[in-house]
Structure 1
Amino acid sequence: MKRIKNFPNLILILLLSLIVVTACQNDDDSSVNNNNPQENIPDTFSEYFGNEISRDFLGTVIDKNHNPIEGATITIGSETATTDSNGVFMINGATVKQRFGYIKAEKAGYIHASRSVVPSNGTNKVTIMMLEATVVGSVTSGSSGTVTATDGSSVSFDGNFIKEDGSTYDGSVDVILHHLDPADDDMPMQMPGMLYAENENGAERMLQTLGMLAVELRGSGGEDLNLAEGSTSEIKVPVDASLMSIAPNTIPLWYFDEANGYWKEEGQATLQGNMYVGTVSHFSFWNCDIPTEAITLCVTATNEDNVPLANMYVSITSATFGTTYGHTNENGEVCGYVPSNESLELNVYSYDVCGDNPLHTETVGPFTVDSNITVIVPDNPDIIEETVVGTFNTCDGNAVTDGYVKLSYGYQTFIDTVTNGEFEINLLRCSDNNTFTIEASDYVNLQVTDSISYTFATPITNIGTISACNAVTEFIEYTIDDGESTFIFENISANFYTDSPNYPDPTLDIFASSNDQGNCYYMYGALNDPDYLGTYDSYSFNGTVGDTGFIIGECLNMSDENNNITYNLTALGNVGEYIDINFSGSYEDYQGNAHTINGVVHVLRDN
């Protein structure tokens, strides 16, 4: 199976998609059971989907280079949204079906993109990779012609084209052509819908792909075109060298129904050399696939204390039909289609920064009906469970109601929604990597925070309050005794000295005051040797020579007695770059009263 490190770094693909890694079977093979006379096929295919339900969605739209796409229009049923500067969209309360939800993404300059899912409880997360509408070649109406891509995929035309309204088109035709290769790790994000289909008899099937071809036709004015009625085109779809040994001589063809969000069987292709060659009568995505009967399976991953494990990588492998995969949501749940009537191998993984070995393996199934199962992941001394919580406010101090928080750890990014200003992100981390960054976005008001560095305070890290203020370039925030947070945005100086007049070793000196609030803040730090970053305790001017640590008591009525504050210096940039420090703990004031404090320093270095 594929190693985790080969999958995309954005951990936003939650619902199971099929990847081909094993042998194929013909559609008329009795083991596929495509035409089982005992199968109960409904009058309309949508009856498979169940009743309408309301679900929440959080997704990311990216390009082929994994960069976010801003301004894409997202549609789920009657609900629409637009992706922000991070390529993120949020749609809450969308109406979908129990076994099927369809998300469409559109933007000028890209071909139509989509994702279909089996909706789970909680927030459904998806990633859609949009492909550019790059013209590979052109043909002219009234004349036959062929357009061939650099990988050998091609489309031949007889010269008869129509517009969307059915009228005849005359003129030059631009051909947009993309071959989607199952050997490409990004294919599950690039393909439309999911590998779920209606066969020629009206029965639902799960698909096993050997290659797809996306074709869109545009007129000289940019209008969408298609083949005229009665016209056909020959398509050629390359088969990756790694799959040639398992490619059958003939394979069913399936086209993607963009209106409904699933594949439909229509015709077949023949293997000629390393190409599947088939004839089609219209254009969309075309797919060379082997079908199998399937059920929906929802897997909930928990630890030994029955606590759900979010953001876990779950794979299910069929000896016949390959591997499906997905990531658990905040409820520890992931749902998707898997082959029916087969014993399946289920693996639960952490992330690529923690290695490729599964945390848990077991055999599940066979399943004959839609099912829900729970798997318990045993404790692992090398993997640490973390929960990061905090409050996200607007710049004027109100709770953000529609927003999200992006946590980056190692090579991974986790995005979770904010509820009434509060957020909670659960993940597993490796014992040798304990830093992360947080960036939050107010989705409605289009305000964001800076990316701020933190250190895990296992098992729960409370980062306090962060605010979305685009105009703010640096700030100091702290909260005492769970009271109102204090923010200082102005009159901040931050200086780093490798050898100061008052102290021979490296030091930090940060001072800030707020003219409006009358607040002041002074932080002094005596640092370790380079690279200076790390965890520090409280520093005392009356302590041992050469001692290190931080002190913030001058403006805060904070004594040295019972001072148990921990400071994490996570970034120390060059002049003009950021210094990031977070701190938390307990202390006594000069009157002997006990207090707690947590805070963040995100300031620009002046010296």
Structure 2
Amino acid sequence: MKYNALSIFLCIAIFFFSACKKHDNTDLTVTPPSPPAAVVEMEISGIVLNTNGSSAEGVEVTIEGKKLTTAENGYFEYKGSVANPDKVKLTLAKNGFFTYTKILTVDKYSSLDGLRFKLIPELVAGSFEAANGGTVSNNYVALVFQPNSFTKLDGSNYLGMVTVKIPANRFNESNRQFPGDVRGLTATNQKVVLESWGGMEVEIYSASGEKLKLSKAVNYTYQIGYQYVYIRNPVKLWAFNEADGIWTESGAANLVGQTFTGSTVNLSYLQWAYARPSALFRSRVQDKNLNVPAGFEFFYAMSEFNSIGIPSTNVNSRGNVLLYVPALTNLRTGMFSPCTDRIETNYTTPAIPEGITGGTTYTVDLAPFLTSVTGTVEDCDFKPLNGRAELAIDGKKINSVLLNGAFNLSFIGCGRNSGTLTIFDGQDKVIYQNNTFSPNRGYKNNLPPITTCTKPLIGSFSIKAEGITYNFQSPQDDIKFQTIQDYSGSLITAISANNDTRGESFYLTYIGQSAGNFNVYTCQLKVPKKSYFLTWGLFTPGIVNITRYKTGNTLLEGSFKTNTNLNFDLSNTNKIVELTGTFKVSN
């Protein structure tokens, strides 16, 4: 078997920092959970991000009145019942950011995973005395406040300094910043869905930081950013009712060119939108083997209109999509993976009558996302452990019981996002954690054995080259042992010794996981001014003889003999030096 010398060297030389992984396609079946007997049990989970996309820790997440706090990785998880599956309220709150409430429509006895939210920073747009009123503006909106038009939440007049906070950028449904969902309530209490053409958030505060309300209308001028040829007057202004979790009609708006103008006494989240008759879109998404893409984002857009509103929801654990949509309107649908891979559903959904639940079944190709992670867990005595393995990735968690130390985590995911692989013992105590674990999407990832042993390794190496013997001994020298995988999936044993003070280091790898004789895979001894390196393709590698492997407290013990190339001089094959040595590594 021929290898490229330089690529083999570079891959193995950094084996302490990365591992080569097996690419083995596999079919995985995701079975929907069986429903419990009584209450509406739900699991809702996801992650919260900062504006720059980093994880947002310490965000207060309230679901069904239960308060949660996001972990270091931004993750939150709710388990419990919901009073009304048609309208589950999820609220995010953190100092320095606008409070955000999302309304979810869920399925009974299912989970809704992979939700992703991004915090919106509060930015001060301007301040003025309440008695004088004032004008506040940024790059997309101007607000003209009348004098003496402010009240406290208890209804009393406020006459101090007013501070106005507005986000840096305008909202649209595509960037998932609108609260609630698409449902609205007209001035005549008609239930509708909204076709949005843009929006924003405005909050007004007193000098002490208390929220204020308006007693007189504020005049606004809002730049929509694009010229939409389908917009027709009159467009309605809608304000989000936080208590009821619904958009309410808040007056007409006039469109001139790319500018909405009008006035309102309702401030908070605002959007400009048409009202359309409402229907509930309920559909199933699956592949040909009935696997469902739980946690993937499903969206719709209207075929004959060109709004910037592209409402979406996540596919739940049963493969169902629940979305309120405009009735009597043909819809175009699509789906994104958690890594924003666009997945075409190739369907235009026929119009659904008003007030009716309708939909279809979409069959999609999920083969690129069917993923599994398998491995074993052992202690310092190389004995298998009981407990469980958990992988938190793409805003969801996958669990597997350790059976004789072995685990199998199967899921449908994007794989380009790293996750956290955690091993728990039988008392559910964390005994191992990898916060940057990145499985290969669409493959069966067979991991090398995971050890929970935290004892420093004890080792001794004796290496001979050109009549000189170089010795390495712990603890003064750094001894390492690791199992990695090559590109074919074969497990490679790797040992090394290093002393930076002396400028000496040694590493040796071979394919094998037992006692016996094996071909040397790579080998290098570095000392001041000299480097002895096994170069594949220039001559036949030597033999490693392992006399003890994972016996007692010994990881491995043995000897080796191989030819090497001096100073990595590929142009001169005469600089061949024989290396021999013995080694022992123990816990």
Q: TM-score, normalised by structure 1?
A: 0.63
Secondary structure at the counterpart of residue 229 of structure 2: helix
CA distance in 2, matches of 1:523, 1:326: 46
Does the 8 Å contact 2:391/2:419 carry over to 1?
Answer: no
Match of 2:206 in 1: 219
**Runs of 4 or more consecutive aligned structure 1 residues displaced over 6 Å after TM superposition:** 389-393, 419-423, 444-448, 493-496, 499-503, 534-537, 547-553
**Aligned pairs (5 A) from 1:417-566:** 418=399, 424-427=409-412, 438-440=420-422, 449-453=433-437, 456=440, 460-461=444-445, 477-478=450-451, 487-492=452-457, 510-511=480-481, 523-524=493-494, 541-543=517-519, 545-546=540-541, 554-556=549-551
Match of 1:124 in 2: 112
Q: Does 1:362 align with 2:329?
A: no
| Structure 1 residues 361 and 184: alpha-carbon distance in aligned structure 2, compared to 1, 3 A threshold | closer
Q: Does 1:177 align with 2:166?
A: yes
Q: Does 1:416 align with 2:397?
A: yes
Match of 1:319 in 2: 303
What is the CA deviation profile of residues 534-559 of structure 1, one whole-angstrom value per residue up to 9, with x for unaligned ones?
Answer: 996669644374379998961159xx
CA distance in 2, matches of 1:452, 1:127: 19
CA distance in 1, matches of 2:65, 2:249: 27
User: Which of these residues, 77, 97, 104, is aligned with residue 91 of structure 2?
Assistant: 104
Counterpart code for 1:281? V
Q: Does 1:166 align with 2:152?
A: no
Does the 8 Å contact 1:350/1:359 carry over to 2?
Answer: no
Match of 1:7 in 2: none
CA distance in 1, matches of 2:460, 2:283: 52
Q: Which has the larger radius of gyration?
A: 2
User: Which of these residues, 293, 310, 333, is aligned with residue 320 of structure 2?
Assistant: 333
CA distance in 2, matches of 1:449, 1:198: 48
- Matched pairs, number: 449
| Structure 1 residues 424 and 144: alpha-carbon distance in aligned structure 2, compared to 1, 3 A threshold | same
User: Which of these residues, 36, 51, 59, is aligned with residue 64 of structure 1?
Assistant: 51
Does the 8 Å contact 2:144/2:218 carry over to 1?
Answer: yes
Q: Shift in Å at residue 268 of structure 1?
A: 0.9
| Structure 1 residues 429 and 175: alpha-carbon distance in aligned structure 2, compared to 1, 3 A threshold | closer
CA distance in 1, matches of 2:338, 2:547: 37
Secondary structure at the counterpart of residue 169 of structure 1: coil
User: Which of these residues, 201, 225, 231, is aligned with residue 240 of structure 1?
Assistant: 225
Does the 8 Å contact 1:52/1:97 carry over to 2?
Answer: no
**Aligned pairs (5 A) from 1:255-404:** 255-321=239-305, 323-348=310-335, 356=342, 358=343, 360-368=345-353, 369-371=356-358, 373-378=360-365, 383=368, 385-388=370-373
User: Which of these residues, 115, 129, 145, is aligned with residue 140 of structure 1?
Assistant: 129
| Structure 1 residues 211 and 179: alpha-carbon distance in aligned structure 2, compared to 1, 3 A threshold | farther
CA distance in 2, matches of 1:363, 1:197: 25
Match of 2:70 in 1: 83
Secondary structure at the counterpart of residue 245 of structure 1: coil
What is the CA deviation profile of residues 474-533 of structure 1, one whole-angstrom value per residue up to 9, with x for unaligned ones?
Answer: xx735xxxxxxxx2112137999xx99999xxxx97349xxxxxxxxx95369xxxxx9x
CA distance in 2, matches of 1:311, 1:543: 46
| Structure 1 residues 419 and 289: alpha-carbon distance in aligned structure 2, compared to 1, 3 A threshold | farther
CA distance in 2, matches of 1:549, 1:265: 78
Secondary structure at the counterpart of residue 203 of structure 2: strand
Secondary structure at the counterpart of residue 337 of structure 1: strand
Match of 1:209 in 2: 196
Match of 2:184 in 1: 197
Q: Shift in Å at residue 427 of structure 1?
A: 2.1
Does the 8 Å contact 1:54/1:96 carry over to 2?
Answer: no
Does the 8 Å contact 1:524/1:551 carry over to 2?
Answer: no
Counterpart code for 1:308? V
Counterpart code for 2:549? E
| Structure 1 residues 493 and 366: alpha-carbon distance in aligned structure 2, compared to 1, 3 A threshold | farther
Q: Shift in Å at residue 339 of structure 1?
A: 2.2
**Aligned pairs (5 A) from 1:8-23:** none
Q: Shift in Å at residue 262 of structure 1?
A: 1.3
CA distance in 2, matches of 1:477, 1:328: 33
CA distance in 2, matches of 1:160, 1:374: 53
Q: Shift in Å at residue 203 of structure 1?
A: 2.2
Q: Shift in Å at residue 289 of structure 1?
A: 0.7
| Structure 1 residues 477 and 405: alpha-carbon distance in aligned structure 2, compared to 1, 3 A threshold | closer
Does the 8 Å contact 2:219/2:261 carry over to 1?
Answer: yes
CA distance in 1, matches of 2:289, 2:43: 27
CA distance in 2, matches of 1:209, 1:359: 23
What is the CA deviation profile of residues 12-58 of structure 1, one whole-angstrom value per residue up to 9, with x for unaligned ones?
Answer: xxxxxxxxxxxxxxxxxxxxxxxxxxxxxxxxxxxxxxx99442211
Q: Shift in Å at residue 127 of structure 1?
A: 2.5
**Aligned pairs (5 A) from 1:29-40:** none
Counterpart code for 1:132? P
CA distance in 2, matches of 1:97, 1:326: 17
Does the 8 Å contact 1:211/1:287 carry over to 2?
Answer: yes
CA distance in 2, matches of 1:453, 1:551: 31
CA distance in 2, matches of 1:535, 1:280: 74
Q: Shift in Å at residue 223 of structure 1?
A: 1.1
Q: Shift in Å at residue 199 of structure 1?
A: 1.6
| Structure 1 residues 86 and 269: alpha-carbon distance in aligned structure 2, compared to 1, 3 A threshold | same
CA distance in 2, matches of 1:223, 1:535: 68
CA distance in 1, matches of 2:547, 2:320: 44
Q: What CA RMSD, in Å, does the superposition of the two structures yield over aligned residues?
A: 4.6
Does the 8 Å contact 1:207/1:292 carry over to 2?
Answer: yes
Counterpart code for 2:519? G
Match of 2:7 in 1: none
Counterpart code for 1:123? S
Secondary structure at the counterpart of residue 166 of structure 2: strand
CA distance in 2, matches of 1:457, 1:220: 52
Counterpart code for 1:543? N
What percentage of residue pairs aligned between the two structures are identical? 18
Counterpart code for 1:279? S
CA distance in 2, matches of 1:428, 1:548: 42
What is the CA deviation profile of residues 350-377 of structure 1, one whole-angstrom value per residue up to 9, with x for unaligned ones?
Answer: 5768x65x45412333323213533222
Secondary structure at the counterpart of residue 239 of structure 2: strand
CA distance in 1, matches of 2:234, 2:142: 18
Q: Shift in Å at residue 441 of structure 1?
A: 9.9
